[in-house]
């Protein structure tokens, strides 16, 4: 533990003890020169208290004993003669007792001061953590409300557009058949017409894919959590993706915490979130690389990380990565990572992103072990 109090004159302890003893000797010389005319006994408290506060109680007691001995020697050498020889020794014993009491009181005060400062630091840290958690919760709530509104609008628009798209697809099929008939009767190649129809079909399919993503995002069901072995789920799912990793020339590294045990999650939704992160990682490594998926238990939380060695993102992109609709992909909808965040939030957790351009990105998911939001 770090020292809670900034000690006066931050010197090595042995230096403090030496300087305290030197100061005691100097006070003893002054005491000897002044004799009984001027009393400087109280000044012995200065090195005694300094040694106790800076080094510790034992050093303070040692300096107090030396100070008492120096006081006794100074008075004997000064020629002071009390009424009875034992009085001088009695006074020195009382002086030592006074110094000991002061050392113990100062030590007790220091302990209380340390404890108080430690308590203040702990409560301040807890308060700051609570403030940060409330800010994060408020931001998540605000974003959830925005996403709910956007999801409702997207669902309405998608519903209105999907039926006309189906009709367009059907008519394109009819047009292609008509092109084939005309080409047979006119003895001309229908390739150019077929090419145009195929291009239109591809665009219609792309729009349908976007609509399906919007609908999936808007209609994400409530997570049905139950105790599962997270490591086993990930291991089984990743085994089926090995072919995709090999084709992308990506090395998969699975680093699972064996002490993790059961975690309350919705297996399908959580895998959907992890799969989105994996796909992002693969797309960020067009020339291959390393994808690391790890789990870790940290107190009452589960930490799930997906890290790639891809192109990475700028700081600005990393800050906006969970916002809906912005996408760095040519054909992306910008909802993938937003859906990941929505799933994680539904599980009572949160997700963070750290990225360095040219080195890769790391997505860290924090989930509560008990699964409660």
87 and 178 share one domain: yes
240 and 297 share one domain: yes
Q: Name the pTM for this structure.
A: 0.51
Q: Is-contact 218 154, C-beta < 8 A?
A: yes
Q: Is residue 332 part of a domain?
A: yes
Mean pLDDT across 279-290? 92
Mean of all residue pLDDT scores within the chain: 81
Q: What is the pLDDT of residues 9-58, one digit of tens each?
A: 467 888 888 898 899 889 888 887 776 666 788 888 889 888 888 888 88
Number of domains in the chain: 2
Lowest mean pLDDT among 21-35, 108-122, 132-146, 248-262: 132-146
244 and 183 share one domain: no
C-alpha span between 322 and 206 (Å, rounded): 23
* Full residue range of the structural domain in which residue 18 is found: 1-219
Q: Is residue 373 part of a domain?
A: no
248 and 214 share one domain: no
Last residue of a domain, one of 171, 203, 219: 219
C-alpha span between 124 and 133 (Å, rounded): 14
Q: Is-contact 308 289, C-beta < 8 A?
A: yes
C-alpha span between 225 and 302 (Å, rounded): 15
350 and 330 share one domain: yes
pLDDT band at 372; cut points 50, 70, 90: low
150 and 251 share one domain: no
145 and 274 share one domain: no
C-alpha span between 221 and 253 (Å, rounded): 31
pLDDT for 80: 67
Q: At what angle do helices 85-186 and 191-218 cross, to 10 degrees?
A: 150
Q: Which of 231, 373, 368 is nearest to 299 (CA)?
A: 368
172 and 263 share one domain: no
Phi, psi (rounded to 5 degrees) for 41? -60, -35
C-alpha span between 90 and 100 (Å, rounded): 15
178 and 309 share one domain: no
Q: Which of 340, 344, 342 is nearest to 368 (CA)?
A: 344
Q: Is-contact 104 57, C-beta < 8 A?
A: yes
């Amino acid at each position: 533990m770090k020292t809670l109090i900034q000690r006066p004159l931050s010197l090595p302890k042995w230096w403090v003890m030496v300087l305290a003893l030197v100061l005691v000797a100097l006070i003893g010389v002054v005491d000897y020169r002044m004799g009984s005319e001027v009393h400087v006994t109280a000044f012995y408290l200065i090195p005694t208290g300094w040694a106790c506060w800076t080094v510790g109680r034992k050093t303070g007691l040692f300096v107090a004993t030396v100070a008492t001995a120096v006081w006794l020697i100074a008075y004997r050498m000064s020629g002071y003669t009390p009424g009875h020889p034992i009085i001088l020794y009695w006074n020195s014993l009382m002086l030592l007792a006074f110094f000991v009491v002061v050392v113990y009181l100062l030590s007790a005060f220091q302990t209380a001061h340390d404890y108080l400062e430690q308590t203040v630091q702990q409560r301040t840290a807890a308060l700051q953590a609570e403030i940060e958690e409330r800010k994060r919760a408020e931001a998540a709530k605000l974003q959830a409300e925005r996403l709910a509104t956007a999801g409702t609008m997207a669902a309405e628009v998608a519903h209105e557009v999907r039926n006309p798209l189906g009709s367009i697809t059907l008519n394109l099929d009819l047009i292609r058949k008509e092109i084939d008939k005309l080409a047979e009767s006119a003895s001309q190649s229908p390739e150019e017409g077929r090419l145009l129809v195929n291009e239109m079909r591809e665009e219609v399919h792309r729009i349908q894919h976007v609509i399906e993503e919007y609908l999936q995002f808007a209609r994400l069901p409530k997570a049905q959590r139950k105790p599962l072995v997270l490591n086993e789920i990930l291991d089984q799912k990743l085994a089926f993706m090995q072919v995709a990793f090999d084709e992308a020339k990506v090395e998969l590294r699975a680093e699972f915490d064996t002490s993790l045990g059961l975690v309350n999650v919705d297996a399908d939704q959580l895998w959907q979130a992890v799969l989105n992160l994996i796909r992002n990682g693969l797309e960020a490594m067009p020339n291959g690389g390393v994808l690391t998926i790890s789990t870790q238990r940290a107190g009452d939380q589960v930490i799930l990380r997906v890290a790639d060695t891809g192109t990475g993102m700028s700081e600005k992109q990393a800050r906006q990565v969970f916002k809906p609709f912005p996408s760095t992909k040519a054909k992306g909808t910008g909802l993938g990572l937003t859906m990941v965040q929505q799933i994680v939030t539904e599980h009572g957790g949160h997700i963070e992103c750290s990225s360095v351009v040219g080195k890769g990105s790391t997505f860290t998911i924090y989930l509560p072990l008990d699964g409660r939001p």
